[in-house]
Amino acid sequence: YFYGGNLKYKSNEIFEFLLISKEFNISELLDLLQSQLLQFPNQIYQNFGITLQISSSHELFQRLYEFCLKTINEHPEIIFKSQDFHLLNENTLLDLLQKKELNLKEIEKWKSIIKWGIHHTFPDTLFTNIYAEYVSEIPDVSLWTRDKFRDLANTLKQFIPLINFHKITPEDFYEKVKPFKKIMNKQFYDEILKYHLLSKKS
């Protein structure tokens, strides 16, 4: 590339070149690689988790990051229901959940942060396999200890307030939120529970 201006690479090597060009601050190569990815976005779609992780790591990848955010707003399942979801860093996940235009049901947001939180709280245990095994379901926590709930609560303390629990159906609340009540502030949980109990009666 340095001598001829041409760059040849295999399919997934483009992401390695992105990181190398950032490390050595080769702005011309960065622009070229981002332009190629944006011109032929199938590479992005097929490696969306990796693309989002890389593009959110530095402002030099702003063009890629904006494309990823726009794609997620329109098709949130591309990342929220993928097995790469746990690769997101904390700031990127916060950024996504804070976007009002995110077209994703609250229960899907909840399920996603629970699985993300489990992966990041228990990285060295069997819980690391939960996301791969339960892509769309909440794991069984009936045998969890108080310490496990406490640790998960610490991981998710910034994310829980971003879920609008009032928009979750009473059935989903009972089946998918209630098992994790120990990770919430008691007063906060009691208020949500009261809302769902009253709405069920009306």
Q: Residue 126: what pLDDT?
A: 52
Statement: residue 1 has pLDDT above 60:
no
Domain that holds residue 186: 105-202
Statement: residue 28 has pLDDT above 60:
yes
Q: Residue 93: what pLDDT?
A: 92
Q: What digits encode the pLDDT tens for the residues 149-196?
A: 999 999 999 999 999 999 999 999 999 999 999 999 999 999 999 999
Last residue of a domain, one of 62, 81, 104: 104
The residue that leads in pLDDT, 33 or 202, is 33
Q: Are residues 6 and 97 in the same domain?
A: yes
Q: Are residues 100 and 112 in the same domain?
A: no
Q: Are residues 76 and 120 in the same domain?
A: no
pTM summary value: 0.80
- Split into its structural domains, the chain has a count of 2
Please state the rounded mean pLDDT for residues 4-19: 64
Statement: residue 8 has pLDDT above 80:
no
Q: What digits encode the pLDDT tens for the residues 74-124?
A: 899 999 888 778 888 899 899 899 988 888 999 999 999 998 998 899 877
Q: Are residues 28 and 115 in the same domain?
A: no
Statement: residue 12 has pLDDT above 70:
no
Q: Residue 201: what pLDDT?
A: 65
Q: Residue 132: what pLDDT?
A: 44
Q: Residue 137: what pLDDT?
A: 63
Q: Are residues 87 and 55 in the same domain?
A: yes
Q: What digits encode the pLDDT tens for the residues 30-75?
A: 888 889 889 889 888 988 988 898 888 888 889 999 999 899 988 9
Q: Residue 156: what pLDDT?
A: 98
Q: Are residues 116 and 59 in the same domain?
A: no
DSSP string over the chain:
-TTTS-----TTHHHHHHHHHHHTT-HHHHHHHHHHHHHSTHHHHHTHHHHHHHHTS-GGGHHHHHHHHHHHHH-THHHHTSTTGGG--HHHHHHHHT-TT----HHHHHHHHHHHHHHHH-TTSGGGGHHHH-SSSPPP-TT--HHHHHHHHHHHTTTGGGS-GGGS-HHHIIIIIGGGGGGS-HHHHHHHHHHHHHHHH-
Q: Are residues 87 and 3 in the same domain?
A: yes
